[in-house]
Amino acid sequence: MSITGIDGDHLRLVEDVAIEQFTDAAMRLVPHFFGKNGLAYNDVPLDDADFVLFYMDLHGRGVTQVLEVIAPRWARLWRSRFDRVAPELLIGGAE
């Protein structure tokens, strides 16, 4: 630590601790952002049929494209699930 208390190591330490703490705090608040009966993806597992509808709606409104950029992991996860279950459901539904 320097005499002023401000050096690279210290600031990095402050940043690391702050990110950990604030992320934890913010994550604890996330459920409250959505209200008691708001969005519930993962709060209540969607079955395959509901998920396909849910994903198609997102895709139709361009939300999945934004997700590809800001949260590629979730976008990939949902796309792969959609790719896996949708053909069977859609074909089955057509029949």
Q: Tell me how far, at minimum, the Cβ of 32 lies from other proteins, in Å.
A: 8
Q: Tell me how far, at minimum, the Cβ of 37 lies from other proteins, in Å.
A: 4
Q: Which residues contact 2 (CB under 8 A, 6 or more apart)?
A: 10
Of positions 63, 83, 88, 93, contacts other proteins by CB under 8 A: 63
Contact 64, 79 (CB under 8 A): yes
What token pair was written down for 49? 């049929």
Position of tokens 């459920």?
A: 31
Q: Binding of other proteins at residue 35 (CB under 8 A)?
A: yes
**Where would I find the beta strands (DSSP E) of the chain?**
none
Is the Cβ of residue 50 or residue 88 nearer to other proteins in the bound state? 50
Position of tokens 């949708």?
A: 86
Binding site for other proteins (CB under 8 A): 1, 3-6, 10-11, 13-15, 17-19, 21-23, 25-27, 29-31, 33-35, 37-44, 46, 50, 53-54, 57-58, 61-67, 69-74
